[in-house]
C-alpha cells in the first residue's frame, strides 16, 4: 500500500485554516464532547456518544414502571422488523412515525398516549445527559471560538453539528463571539426561516447550524419552534431529533433548513469543511456531504478521525469514490480517492517535533531504537483545539497593523 506524508497534510490544513478569503466551516460530531474528559479520574467523557446515551436512556426507561413495558414493545417491534443495534435516535424516529399514523387510536401495541409519554420521557433523559457545561475556558470549543475571532474574513465561519448540547454556544458567549443559529428574539426566540435564507448579517458573526436539533429547542403546537431553557407549557415538545413529518409541516421545522445550510455551504467555490468527531454513520448526512462535494469540485472536506482507519469502513468507502473528501485517521488516510498508510522511519531520522501533531511510535514497543511509524493525532478533538490555538498565535504574531492605527 502506498504511503502519504502526514506533515504535508497538516501543512495543507494550516494553509486552509489560515485563509481569510475562502468559505470555512466545521462539522462537529458526537466524538467532540467525548474528547473532553471530566470526573474525579479525569477519564469520563463530558457527554457520551450516541451509543452511550442510548444505554443510559434504555436503562432508565427499563426501571420506569410506566415506560418499562412500553420500551419492551418498541424493542419487540425492532426485533420483528429485523433491526439490530438501534439507537435512541432510531427509537425516537420509530415512536414519532407511529404517532403520525396513530391519531387517537393504537398502532403496533402502542396507544397515542403511550407514544407521547415515551417521546417526552426519552427527550427528558437526553436533556439530562446532554445539558452539560464546559469545565473550563481552555476547552477545544473555546479554541474554535478564539480561531473564529482571530481574523477578519470575507465569509462567515459556519459551524455544523449533529450534537444536541450547548457547548459551542457556551464557548461563543464566553468569548464574546456573536453568532446566529436561526432564531430571532429575546424573550422567547423563535425560529425564523426567512432570516436563515436571506442571511444579511456581517461576516464577523459566526453561523451555528444544529442539524439534529438542540436540548433548548421546543415546539408549541400550531405556533412554531422556539429556543429557551424551559418549555412553555405541558403541551410543548422538545425538538432534538428529526421527525418524519409531511413536507409542509417539516418545512416549518428547523431540520430541513439546517440541512439546506450544509448543502448551500458545500456549493460555495473553494469551500473547506473540517469534520471532527464524526464517524460517518448517519446516511442522510453522508449523502448531503458527498453530493455537495460532487457538485462543487473546488470544495474540499477533511475528516479528522480519532481511531485506526480500519474502524471507519464507511468513511473509507465514501472517500475512495470522492476525491475531494480526505480521510485522515490515526494510522492512515484516504487522499484524492486513494487509501494510504502513514510512513515508517528509522528512530534516528524522526523529527525533533515528535509528539506534537504527529507522533512516531515504535513498531516494536520493546525496541525504542527500531523502526517507527507515524501516528496522526489531530483526530483527538482536544489536540485539534491545541492545533487551532497555535494557529491563532501565529496569526496574531504575523498580522501587521497599518501605520497610524
The answer to which of 169-173, 248-252, 336-340, 386-390 has the lowest mean pLDDT is: 248-252
Q: What phi and psi values does residue 366 have, to the nearest 5 degrees? A: -80, -10
Q: Which three cell numbers stand for residue 403?
A: 501605520
Q: Are residues 41 and 118 in the same domain?
A: no
Query: In this predicted structure, what is the pLDDT of residue 241?
Result: 79
Alpha-carbon span 2 to 381, nearest angstrom: 27
Domain assignment present for residue 201? The answer is yes
Domain assignment present for residue 360? The answer is no
Query: In this predicted structure, what is the pLDDT of residue 404?
Result: 41
Domain assignment present for residue 350? The answer is no
Q: What is the mean pLDDT of residues 285-302?
A: 96
Kind of pairing, strands 300-304 and 325-328?
parallel
Q: What is the mean pLDDT of residues 277-294?
A: 95
The tens digit of pLDDT for each residue in 210-223 reads 999 999 998 887 78
Which one of 130, 151, 178 terminates a domain?
A: 130
Q: What is the mean pLDDT of residues 136-140?
A: 95
Find the CATH number of the domain harbouring 209.
3.40.50.1220
| Alpha-helical segments (H) within 103-237 | 112-130, 140-150, 167-174, 193-198
Which domain covers residue 100, as residue numbers?
50-130
Q: What is the mean pLDDT of residues 153-178?
A: 97
Contacts of 180-187 with C-beta under 8 Å, sequence gap 24+, read: 180/205, 180/206, 180/207, 180/208, 181/207, 181/208, 181/209, 181/210, 181/227, 182/209, 182/254, 182/257, 182/258, 183/226, 183/227
- Dihedral Cα 321, 266, 32, 306, nearest 10 deg: 20
Q: Are residues 65 and 99 in the same domain?
A: yes
Q: Are residues 207 and 110 in the same domain?
A: no
What is residue 106's three-state secondary structure? strand
Q: Are residues 252 and 324 in the same domain?
A: yes
Does 402 have pLDDT greater than 70? no
Does 270 have pLDDT greater than 80? yes
Alpha-carbon span 211 to 43, nearest angstrom: 28
Q: Are residues 20 and 85 in the same domain?
A: no
pLDDT band at 403 (very low <50, low <70, confident <90, very high): very low
Is residue 381 within 8 A of residue 31, CB to CB? The reply is yes
Which one of 96, 130, 164 terminates a domain?
A: 130
Alpha-carbon span 143 to 384, nearest angstrom: 9
| Alpha-helical segments (H) within 206-252 | 247-250
pLDDT band at 307 (very low <50, low <70, confident <90, very high): very high
Helix (H) or strand (E) holding 376: strand 372-376
Domain assignment present for residue 115? The answer is yes
Q: Are residues 205 and 182 in the same domain?
A: yes
Q: What is the mean pLDDT of residues 370-396?
A: 90
Alpha-carbon span 229 to 217, nearest angstrom: 8
Measured in whole angstroms, the distance separating CA 303 from the mean position of its chain's CA atoms is 11
Does 199 have pLDDT greater than 80? yes
Alpha-carbon span 102 to 382, nearest angstrom: 46
Query: In this predicted structure, what is the pLDDT of residue 240?
Result: 85
Domain assignment present for residue 351? The answer is no
Q: Are residues 276 and 144 in the same domain?
A: yes
| Alpha-helical segments (H) within 64-131 | 68-80, 88-102, 112-130
Is residue 404 within 8 A of residue 397, CB to CB? The reply is no
pLDDT band at 400 (very low <50, low <70, confident <90, very high): very low
The answer to which of 9-23, 74-88, 159-173, 214-228 has the lowest mean pLDDT is: 214-228
Q: What is the mean pLDDT of residues 297-318?
A: 97
Alpha-carbon span 240 to 217, nearest angstrom: 7
The tens digit of pLDDT for each residue in 65-79 reads 999 999 999 999 999
Give bridge partners of residue 375 from the DSSP assignment.
Answer: 359
Domain assignment present for residue 404? The answer is no
Give the count of domains, the chain.
Answer: 2
Q: Are residues 118 and 148 in the same domain?
A: no
Which one of 105, 130, 155 terminates a domain?
A: 130
pLDDT band at 370 (very low <50, low <70, confident <90, very high): confident
Domain assignment present for residue 405? The answer is no
Q: Are residues 123 and 148 in the same domain?
A: no
Q: What is the overall mean pLDDT for the chain?
A: 90
The tens digit of pLDDT for each residue in 230-262 reads 555 556 778 887 765 554 455 557 888 999 999
Q: Are residues 110 and 158 in the same domain?
A: no
Q: Are residues 180 and 311 in the same domain?
A: yes
Q: Are residues 56 and 158 in the same domain?
A: no
Query: In this predicted structure, what is the pLDDT of residue 26?
Result: 98
Domain assignment present for residue 354? The answer is no
pLDDT band at 311 (very low <50, low <70, confident <90, very high): very high
Amino acid at each position: 500500500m502506498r504511503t502519504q506524508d502526514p506533515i504535508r497534510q497538516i501543512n495543507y490544513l494550516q494553509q486552509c485554516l489560515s485563509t481569510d478569503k475562502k468559505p470555512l466551516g466545521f462539522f462537529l460530531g458526537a466524538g467532540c464532547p467525548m474528547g473532553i474528559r471530566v470526573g474525579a479520574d479525569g477519564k469520563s467523557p463530558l457527554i457520551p456518544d450516541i451509543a452511550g446515551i442510548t444505554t443510559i436512556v434504555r436503562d432508565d426507561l427499563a426501571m420506569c414502571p410506566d415506560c418499562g413495558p412500553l420500551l419492551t414493545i418498541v424493542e419487540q417491534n425492532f426485533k420483528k422488523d429485523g433491526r439490530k443495534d438501534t439507537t435512541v435516535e432510531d427509537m425516537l424516529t420509530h415512536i414519532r412515525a407511529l404517532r403520525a399514523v396513530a391519531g387517537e387510536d393504537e398502532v403496533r401495541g402502542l396507544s397515542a398516549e403511550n407514544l407521547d409519554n415515551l417521546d417526552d420521557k426519552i427527550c427528558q433523559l437526553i436533556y439530562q445527559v446532554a445539558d452539560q457545561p464546559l469545565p473550563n475556558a481552555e476547552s477545544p470549543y473555546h479554541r474554535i471560538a478564539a480561531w473564529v475571532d482571530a481574523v477578519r474574513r470575507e465569509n462567515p465561519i459556519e459551524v455544523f453539528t449533529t450534537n444536541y448540547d450547548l457547548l459551542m454556544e457556551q464557548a461563543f458567549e464566553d468569548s464574546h463571539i456573536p453568532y446566529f443559529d436561526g432564531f430571532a428574539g429575546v424573550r422567547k426566540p423563535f425560529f425564523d426561516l426567512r432570516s436563515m435564507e436571506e442571511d444579511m448579517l456581517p461576516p464577523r458573526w459566526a453561523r451555528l447550524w444544529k442539524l439534529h436539533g438542540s436540548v433548548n429547542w421546543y415546539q408549541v403546537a400550531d405556533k412554531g419552534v422556539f429556543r429557551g431553557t424551559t418549555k412553555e407549557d405541558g403541551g410543548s415538545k422538545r425538538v432534538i431529533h428529526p421527525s418524519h413529518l409531511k413536507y409542509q409541516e417539516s418545512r416549518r421545522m428547523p431540520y430541513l433548513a439546517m440541512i439546506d445550510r450544509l448543502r448551500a455551504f458545500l456549493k460555495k467555490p473553494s469551500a473547506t469543511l473540517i469534520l471532527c468527531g464524526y464517524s460517518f454513520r448517519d446516511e442522510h448526512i453522508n449523502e448531503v456531504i458527498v453530493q455537495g462535494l460532487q457538485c462543487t469540485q473546488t470544495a474540499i472536506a477533511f475528516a479528522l478521525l480519532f481511531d485506526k482507519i480500519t474502524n471507519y469502513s464507511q468513511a473509507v468507502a465514501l472517500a475512495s469514490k470522492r476525491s475531494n473528501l480526505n480521510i485522515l485517521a490515526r494510522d492512515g488516510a484516504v487522499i484524492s480517492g486513494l487509501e494510504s498508510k502513514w510512513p515508517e522511519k528509522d528512530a534516528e531520522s524522526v523529527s525533533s517535533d515528535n509528539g506534537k501533531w504527529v507522533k512516531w511510535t515504535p513498531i516494536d514497543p520493546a525496541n525504542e531504537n527500531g523502526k517507527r511509524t507515524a501516528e496522526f493525532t489531530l483526530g483527538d478533538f482536544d489536540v485539534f483545539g491545541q492545533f487551532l490555538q497555535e494557529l491563532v498565535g501565529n496569526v496574531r504574531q504575523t498580522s501587521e497593523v497599518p501605520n497610524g492605527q
